[in-house]
Structure 1
Amino acid sequence: MNSTTLGASTNSTTPASLPVGNLVMCIFSINFLFGLPIHSYIIWLIITRTGSGVASEFFILNLSVSEIGYCLGSLFFVLMNWISVLAPLAMFMQGLGMTGRPLFQCLMCVERYLAVVHPVTFLKYKPLRYRVICCTVAWIIILGSCVVFLITLMLNNINANTWFFLMQFFVFLSIQLFCLVAVLRALKQSGPGEGRREREEENHTKRTAFYLILITTVSMVIAYVPIMISGVFIILMNQYNVTFWAPGVGKTESSVHEDLKMSNMQIYVCREPDAVGIFIEGIPVLTDLGNLARACCLLLGMKYALNLQYPPQLCKTFEVFQRLFVGLDTLSPKPSSRFMTLKNKLLS
């Protein structure tokens, strides 16, 4: 919904102007209040460790940084109820949780897989510089994902957002399951000529890697499978709950009516449920119009029937729509100079 231009009304909502539901606000608030101090403490522990603490836990360090960014994004989602300019930033940072978290978890699993199944390769790429290269590439992917989330949510294209999330989830989950099975197979095998004590020590290391990959995979499944099922339902049934997939991008018709009580003349379009209507002087004079084109034509008819004046900030827009596109009163009263300039450019 847009309160300044007629053409922008074709979108159901402008995300920057939409509040987040109470339940979603509660979830985001909990995520911020608990997630921010916990991950900050994890970063502090990794940095203050002596020896090679940062090198050995570099992926976890980046994961915690990504989680802190996502916690701040949760805060922005809550604050955008009162500070609407934070909405694009909140949508941008949603990619940190949707891509950053599973990507760094996937890198942790691959690292453990190499340490158990390909120890020579792991020792070759163990130095910190290789982890820095991997994390640099990962952050480039994450920032690209954030841009995709921002564009798809700002355009209210939930289907594209859903496809993007599902594809990356399947990729990350497949890699983690492969690492899990490979480490499990390695755990059941023992090298030739190994003594019992050496075998027990090696199996302990393998079990530690296996449990880490298992816990990471299970946590990822618990966190993302419900969203994945919802995404499949969206694609198959072409139905979605906007507030679930894009908090702050959905709005019910009743809440739209509340927001437009002070509006002078407005066409609104909302998705929950699909509804199109006309507001004049803060009153919903026509509702359930079916589509935007019918609403525009009926608004012109009401303008003539009730002898209404167009809002000053929209008079040029309505003049173009009325005279150029609909063909009403093309010469009387005298057209404005801006209208004639536009008409001559379009018809030349």
Structure 2
Amino acid sequence: MNSSSQNSSEESQWNPCPSSPYGVQVFFVVEAVNLLFGLPVNAWTVWLISHNSHSIQASEVFTLNLALLECVYSLLSFLRPLNYYVIKSTSLYTFNLFFYGLLSAGRPLFQACVCLERYLGVVHPVSYLRYNSVRTRLCTLPLVWGLILSLCVCNIWKLVLAFPILFLLLLLLQAYCCVRILQVLCQPGPGDGTRKHKVDPAKKKAFITVLVIQVMMVLNYLPMVLVVPLRGRLSRHSYVCQLLPASLSFSVFGSFIQPLMYLMRRGKFPSKAKG
């Protein structure tokens, strides 16, 4: 009886829904699609930045780290279905929790760093020029990666409120950046007078970048934020086997958006069809 109870307990850890696997299977399908589209684009981005004829630009530091993180996640994502269907190891399940925290914390944090870059460049250009160097970015990277790894540990300990709080804070931060950049774009420049106000193309690109990141942030992580308060109000089966895998599927998808924007900005990916 003790051995049977132990096996049942171990099985519930790596497979909490043996009688209803559809939610988990949908999550695996989304990860496979993310691997198919995200890995080539992110790998291309890493290759372009690291093989640049000139030194790495300051604006590429966070993009490079995000692309590397997405590549690592994509390459190791096969471990989750492998453990689910074949290995069935509690230790590997714990590693997958840490591994998923890497994406859940890393992507929004690096996206927030990109938004802050664009915000400073448009709203506070003097400060941006003063600190616009690779060295400044490298000084912030240990802080970002330290926070990412701390949140990975929180995911192992199943501190369910850690990630929703992070997502809400970053959503508010990016929304503020987006609104302030839009305000600057709507203000006429000096000497415009009554003439038609012309929008600075660089500022317009900054606004589009922040807006796209904000939309992706909402699509990726708002479902997870909305699901967490329902944890004690629904049955365990409905929450763990249906709602939770659905919200996690939203958080995984979209790894190709940020590198695709970078490639289009570099002219490596056509933004308009050529006639």
Does the alignment reach a TM-score above 0.5? yes
Residue 169 of structure 2 is aligned with which of 168, 171, 175?
Answer: 171
Q: Structure 1 CA distance, aligned partners of 2:156 and 2:123? A: 39
1-side partners of 2:139 and 2:232: how far apart? 36
The answer as to whether partners of 2:105 and 2:148 remain within 8 angstroms in 1 is yes
2:60 counterpart residue number: 57
CA RMSD of aligned residues (A): 3.1
Correspondence for 1:203:
200
Cα drift, residue 86 of structure 1: 2.5
Q: Specify which structure has the higher proportion of helix.
A: 2
Aligned counterparts of 2:45 and 2:2: Cα–Cα separation in 1:
45
Q: Is the CA contact 1:183–1:210 (under 8 Å) kept in the aligned structure 2?
A: yes
Q: Is the 8 A contact 2:58 2:133 kept in 1?
A: yes
Alpha-carbon separation, structure 2, partners of 1:91 and 1:43: 25
Work out the CA distance in 1 between the residues paired with 2:29 and 2:73: 15
Report the equivalent of 1:134: 140
**Change in CA separation of 1:11 and 1:188 when aligned onto 2, cut-off 3 Å:** same
> CA separation in 2, counterparts of 1:174 and 1:41?
31
| CA 196–60 in structure 1, closer or farther in 2 if over 3 Å, else same | farther
Unaligned runs of 5+ in 1: 153-159, 248-348
Superposed CA deviations along residues 96-139 of structure 1, whole A, max 9, x for unmatched, are 22111111111100100000000111011111111112222111
Asked if 1 retains the 8 angstrom alpha-carbon contact of 2:185 and 2:203, the reply is yes
Alignment of 1:1-348 (within 5 A): 4=3, 13-15=12-14, 21-81=24-84, 82-83=86-87, 84=89, 85-152=91-158, 160-161=159-160, 163-193=161-191, 200=198, 203-234=200-231, 237=234, 241-243=239-241, 245=244
What is the Cα deviation at residue 24 of structure 1? Answer: 2.5
1:213 Cα shift?
Answer: 0.3
Q: Out of 65-74 and 184-193, give the one that drifted further.
A: 65-74
Deviating more after overlay: 8-17 vs 39-48: 8-17
Structure 1 range deviating more: 206-215 or 4-13 = 4-13
TM-score by length of 1: 0.60
Larger radius of gyration: 1
Contact 2:27 2:245 in 1 (8 A): no
Consecutive unaligned residues of structure 2, counting only runs of 5 or more, are 247-275
Looking at secondary structure, tell me which structure has more strand per residue.
1
CA contact 1:73–1:91 (8 Å) conserved in 2 = no
Quote the Cα distance in structure 2 between the aligned partners of 1:25 and 1:169. 23
Kindly provide the CA deviation profile for residues 169-226 of structure 1, in whole angstroms up to 9, marking residues without a partner as x.
10110000000000000111134346999x74x6222111111100111111112222
Number of equivalences: 236
Q: Among the aligned pairs, what percent are the same residue?
A: 33
